[in-house]
Structure 1
């Protein structure tokens, strides 16, 4: 019987293989991590011997009830704390086991699922919310395929949040300026950093499809190869961490804020989506003759009808809505079109087998598990309810009337008033998530901005 190979950078089948994989690499410590609502890695670090010794890993349930700044909101009818703040258990997904290549001591990491004391999956945690949506596709014999594109900025170190962010200096010794879209010279300014991103990614078994320079100064985009939604959400989760660590190594920051610099383009996380038959692997968006199927149009119709209510899962912060403004190369409506980048839902040019819908609304600050869950939930509802889309838009669609929530509170209210999404995503998740988002808005409202000092101080 052939022995399993432990040369692969990522993933093992069972605990016995995990012990051998860790021993073969001389791993001393392991990080057991899971994403919170913000997509921040939370968890525990321990010696390898303890990890493989059937140790129980627990985190408090309050982990999914605090804001990005660490506050704990007051209870409401739908936002409740677990009365005893009982433990949630981390269950390592050994298929995600990989090295942490930037650590000086041999270290590994593993993404964990979260279960309650009864052993059942905690329904409101991000990875489980996405799994819930995928289970609905499975019941229909469908399997979604996704490919995210993540934009981010490199910025000079900023130790005082009162000061604006600026692009860092590249190898030329000068700060890169705008107008570098698809510029190879723009990428070359940060050759050594990008080499580290590639090396760190390879060491974790993460696959980068392409890397480009975007329109903003020192704004880059990484495209990932298409695949299973959980696997791709895991990759985005790890990529964000990887890119930040690579940038820190070179004395600069990498930020996934949706709108980090005034007057510059925002950063998106575009999501390409298709659906295949689980048995045949054929794209259900295309008929045997190559024409678009009813499911294809219903998926778009669902995106148009339900994405506005799920937008807060794709644009989760006050800053996110600074990106979704007219005339800034970002969608402001629910229009769709063929190869039309001004629409929210673009259908790229492709053959029938690759027919897909690109959701251009999510920003790069979004938790990838939740952004994918909301987007795929909308498409599923469209197909199940046979929602017809509008006619495709052939003209510029991101000017003038804004058809989406204009701010965080409006977006939260739409999510809370969306019973169809509650059925798909889970009412408990929506109650907790909405409560956290409302609390984050109230924290933001406590901060006096430079605009207010500039125009109100002496004029009102």
Structure 2
């Protein structure tokens, strides 16, 4: 093996298995969480010392347009891409032996690019570390398998299962329902194993063709990397069996939306003890402060947790999605749920993020709110008992309002980084403006001949 292959994780070495690596994909997640970068022959990757991409990749909208550059409208300086070999993993769906390697974005002086999403998350983790804390997260991924949709004007519909019937709704936790598309699930398992990714569990969710995939708890950056990789491998597994996998927040009218619930805990770096519980297992002040931070700042963070116009279709009462910032023990109607657990696993589940969010930014924004709570030391609201679906005053109703709330939360903007906020808002304002120029079928149906 050459020097660079010696740096690979064991799963990547096992995948190579003595074969010659044909190609390396130099990958970097953009603001949307889309994989950008370049592919090159493995021999060239091994010899090359520098990799470059223009920093404008972080100004590209989900439609492929370019947002206004808040810093320099005329130049697109190259970033230096630095491979993080700990992320090297297989691309097992390719015909040859291909590896993916996530890269960090640095400027030409070696400083992290402040508006790179992976760097934003590293910045937040660094703030916890500076206080002697280590944040721990566990994401849950919800997504739909759908029939191929090649005409955007047509509604999305569930896929055909092995019985020849469309996947059925309202079959949460049904094993026979998930067996309907068992071949896709088998490929997801196989791809994950080849990539060295751990799956904590897979289950049928409440929507037709809706699946939940759970990940084990761990380091926030590593878990964001895994969600990033899982999105790609799940799409590839679906395509092998003539269907799509979508991570839209609300792809099918009348069905539940897809969330990326995030479980949070914080441990003392020196002792390894969960700071949310004391020696007797009683909830600490840290626990209440973390919840208070989320209650006080998540309204501003919604623009990162629900980043598209479609995201807000998920926040509707009685549709398995929270519409509030209340907290409760084992209460799935509250935006902040405290699962039943022992003291060592005491954690707070943020149920507001949609699966359409960039995992780096969703985790960063959620942790940033908790961090601000720990710093501000304010009290949380009382625990909510009963159904919290009656209150939705905490949640903005559209992307435009959400962006306004983000810019108004100066403390949150400062923690996430002012330069990042300028780039993010520029991209999202551009996307929202494009959406407002689209005439929908609803408008043609009800307004064309009636008004």
TM range, normalised to the smaller chain? over 0.9
Seen in structure 2, the aligned counterparts of structure 1 residues 457 and 24 have a Cα distance that, compared at 3 Å, is same
The residue aligned with 1:46 is 40
Task: Report how far residue 63 of structure 1 moved.
Answer: 0.5
Partner of 1:416: 407
| Contact 1:10 1:96 (8 Å CA) reproduced | no
Instruction: Classify the secondary structure of the residue corresponding to 1:250.
Output: coil
Between the aligned partners of 2:248 and 2:306, the Cα distance in structure 1 is: 10
Shift in CA distance, 83/116, structure 1 to aligned 2, threshold 3 Å:
farther
Matching residue of 2:62: 68
Aligned residue number for residue 151 of structure 1: 142
User: 1:7 offset after TM fit, Å?
Assistant: 8.2
Structure 2 counterpart SS, 1:128: helix
Secondary structure, counterpart of 1:319 in structure 2: helix
Give the one of 109, 124, 129 matched to 1:133. Answer: 124
Residue 307 of structure 1 aligns to a residue whose secondary structure is helix
1:74 positional shift: 3.6
Unaligned runs of 5+ in 1: 12-19
Kept in 1: contact 2:324–2:391 (CA 8 A): no
Aligned pair partner of 2:18 in 15, 18, 24 = 24
Deviation at 1:122, TM superposition (A): 0.3
Find the counterpart in structure 2 of residue 142 from structure 1: 133
Aligned-pair Cα RMSD in Å: 1.6
- Taking the aligned partners of 1:6 and 1:93, their CA distance within structure 2 comes to 10
Listed as ranges, the gaps of 5+ residues in structure 2 are: 1-5
Q: Within 2, Cα distance between the matches of 1:23 and 1:118?
A: 38
Q: In structure 2, what is the Cα distance between the partners aligned to 1:272 and 1:25?
A: 39
Correspondence for 2:334:
343
Partner of 1:314: 305
User: 2:11 is matched with which residue?
Assistant: 9
* Pairing partner for 1:283 from 274, 282, 291: 274
CA contact (8 A) 1:97 1:108 kept: yes
In structure 2, relative to structure 1, the CA distance for the partners of 1:389 and 1:25 (3 Å cut) is: farther
Give yes or no for contact 2:8–2:88 (8 Å, CA) kept in 1: no
**What is the SS of the residue equivalent to 1:297?**
helix
- For 1:16, the equivalent position in structure 2 comes to none
Q: Distance in 1 between matches of 2:391 and 2:266?
A: 33
2:357 is matched with 366
Q: Distance in 2 between matches of 1:372 and 1:172?
A: 38
Residue 431 of structure 2 is matched in structure 1 by: 440
Determine if contact 2:29/2:36 at 8 Å carries over to the other structure. Answer: yes
Match of 1:242 in 2: 233
Q: Which residue of 2 aligns with 1:107?
A: 98
Name the CA distance, whole Å, in 1 between partners of 2:81 and 2:428. 25
2:270 maps to 1:268: no
- Is the contact made by 2:9 and 2:86 (CA closer than 8 Å) also made in structure 1? no
Contact 1:313–1:371 at 8 Å: present in 2 too? yes
CA contact (8 A) 1:155 1:165 kept: yes
Q: Answer whether contact 2:132 2:269 (CA < 8 A) is retained.
A: yes
What is the CA–CA distance in structure 2 between the aligned matches of 1:256 and 1:399, rounded to whole Å? 27
| Matching residue within 71, 75, 84 for 1:93 | 84
Give the counterpart of 1:381 among 368, 372, 387. Answer: 372
Q: Alpha carbons of 1:446 and 1:368: their partners in 2 closer, same or farther (altered >3 Å)? A: same
Asked whether the equivalents of residues 10 and 95 of structure 1 are also in contact (C-alpha less than 8 Å), the reply is no
State the TM-score, normalized to the length of structure 1. 0.95
Partner SS for 2:108: coil
For 1:55 and 1:198, locate their aligned partners in 2 and report how far apart those are by CA, in whole Å. Answer: 35
Give the whole-Å Cα distance in 2 for the aligned partners of 1:157 and 1:52. 39
Q: Give the TM-score, by structure 2 length.
A: 0.96
CA distance in 2, matches of 1:123, 1:224: 28
Q: 1:39-88 CA distances to partner (integer Å, 9 max, x unpaired)?
A: 0000010011111113321111110112100111345xxx3346421101
CA shift digits 1:408-455 (9 cap, x unpaired): 000001111111012211000001100110100011112111110111
Aligned equivalents of 1:434, 1:424: Cα separation in 2: 15
State how far apart, in whole Å, the 2-side matches of 1:89 and 1:410 are: 35
Structure 1 equivalent of residue 28 of structure 2:
34
CA distance in 1, matches of 2:127, 2:207: 39
Could you tell me which residue of structure 2 aligns to residue 326 of structure 1? Answer: 317
Q: Deviations over 1:278-327 (max 9, x none)?
A: 11111000001110010001000000001110111110000000001122
Find the residue that maps to 1:269 and give its secondary structure. Answer: coil
More deviation, 249-258/65-74: 65-74
Partner of 1:186: 177
1:196 to 187, 201, 215: 187
CA contact (8 A) 1:172 1:189 kept: yes
Q: Which residue of 2 aligns with 1:14?
A: none
CA distance in 1, matches of 2:391, 2:275: 35
- The change in CA–CA distance for 1:90 and 1:21 in structure 2 (over 3 A counts) is farther
